[in-house]
Structure 1
């Protein structure tokens, strides 16, 4: 008998899984820039979770053309990185370090890798562009009528972080996340459990939970799970109280006897690795929380 299944209470246990399916990120000042926001609004309206973070400044310190390659020299956090960008034939480097660099095609159109593309490559190739999580919040409203941007534009904590100051060489950055609107449930079947008589009832309870949890509840559960995981400096609620039988947001999970909740940020295109004082920089984050302290109920993350 595998030791991890020995002496567990029930033969059927469930975990509720939530994950981010898309994102929008921008410098904090961008939330007040209508021109910058305009092409993103359709995507932003699906984002109910937001993360306020701190990223290193990214400086373009040199550009050159070598044949059909664009060579960029970038400085991030005191380190310099050389990047090669293959180009189609017929493109020519124009501009300078004062007026700005650009690539001109045969039709006279100006092109250049944007900061999002540069940040994505710095992260994937050099792990050189990380975002420290300072605060996590959510906005939902009635039937999803509010989104992250609505809350951020009048956000006291964001103002507080800005006023307290960001260290030299860093920028205040916003990450907005859209959570998958459907439910996901992971069910574990344990033939070695102590109680194997309630399996059918426990499967039904799990299915009831799967179809009974609405998007507003999942948004709050996702927020609370990430706060407990990252322990951000400027959050207070959920840092030490989640999970708990006293929390209203978890009442339904306990009623349906859910054993665990999981909140994931696993987006390949994210332009930085997230981290905090409690969590090392990683490309993917999975916040896993057992809802029961009894060792006989801890079956997913043992």
Structure 2
């Protein structure tokens, strides 16, 4: 009887996040190209506006009133921040459609501007608040890799047919919402586990084990493109983005693009990520509740006598 002593799993972890829209600033693009951003989400959130008529600028503080208008029902999100005494704000403009905020010094000089959505997020982040109105609904998950990983997400998104379709659908059916992209880098980890209870192996089993040794797997054993595809597939299956994604909905059954993972006899492929400290946003879908922490593993050997390394965790789902 063959004994499977050591099991290995590939765990893909998004580590660097950029939240952006289609119109990326040149300096932002320069920064993004420093990182291997090969995975992206296309997301949707309610539009955020600023009611500048209610803005109150004081010497020490600024009182903002942001708001959403989903299905014609206005909801206010007031927030107060410090008016920096070294670089104070003297006035604020926010003309129709009330989504671009411009800041001016007391002498009238322009000092900066930004989207109401991102400014509200930044102000909340300063106060360790993750507002529910900015929860990101994941609609589509994709990858950009190209030859030797030279292509990143923003190259793919410039001519992406899915983003155009999602923009069109949102404009027609969800006019109170807007589209965002989350570009991310992912890193591989190999998790290993001894899969036998103490005392369950006979002396002969132990002799065979010592003779054959351990078959260790390392991240570099798996081609980077296959790692990226594994991350994409696991995320699609997890968020169940079937409205726009058509591949990998039954992952890991589509095995031909994970050839090396099967050759290395991996036990499972999984994803995990935490956005509390990075971008302070929650992600969700129609199948997954809003959270800043997401994790899931997928067993590669259904229908066999092999034991899932993560059965105790997955049985809770």
In the alignment, is residue 80 of structure 1 matched against residue 48 of structure 2? no
SS in structure 2 at match of 1:160 = helix
Could you list the per-position Cα deviations for residues 202-255 of structure 1 after superposition, in whole angstroms to 9, with x for gaps in the alignment? 974332x43311221111110011011111120000012x112x5122232222
Matches within 5 A, 1:40-59: 40-44=29-33, 46-59=36-49
| Structure with higher RCO (Cα < 8 A, 6+ apart) | 1
CA–CA distance in structure 2, aligned partners of residues 256 and 214 of structure 1: 12
CA–CA distance in structure 2, aligned partners of residues 273 and 81 of structure 1: 18
Alignment correspondent of 2:121:
119
Alignment correspondent of 1:173:
180
**What is the CA RMSD across the aligned residues, in angstroms?**
2.9
Asked if 2 retains the 8 angstrom alpha-carbon contact of 1:60 and 1:75, the reply is yes
CA–CA distance in structure 1, aligned partners of residues 123 and 105 of structure 2: 22
Structure 1 segments of 4 or more deviating over 6 A? 200-203
Alignment correspondent of 2:289:
280
| Alpha-carbon offset, residue 164 of structure 1 | 2.8
CA–CA distance in structure 2, aligned partners of residues 203 and 152 of structure 1: 47
Matches within 5 A, 1:214-253: 214-232=223-241, 233-240=243-250, 242-244=251-253, 247-253=255-261
| Alpha-carbon offset, residue 101 of structure 1 | 4.7
When the two structures are aligned, how many residues end up with a matched partner? 284
Could you list the per-position Cα deviations for residues 145-191 of structure 1 after superposition, in whole angstroms to 9, with x for gaps in the alignment? 211122212222222222333402101111111123xx411112345
Could you list the per-position Cα deviations for residues 4-33 of structure 1 after superposition, in whole angstroms to 9, with x for gaps in the alignment? xxxxx74422221111121222223x1xx6
Closer/same/farther in 2, CA of residues 26 and 210 from structure 1, 3 Å limit: closer
CA–CA distance in structure 1, aligned partners of residues 240 and 274 of structure 2: 19
CA–CA distance in structure 2, aligned partners of residues 214 and 253 of structure 1: 9
Structure 2: stretches of 5+ with no match in the other structure:
313-317
SS in structure 2 at match of 1:75 = strand
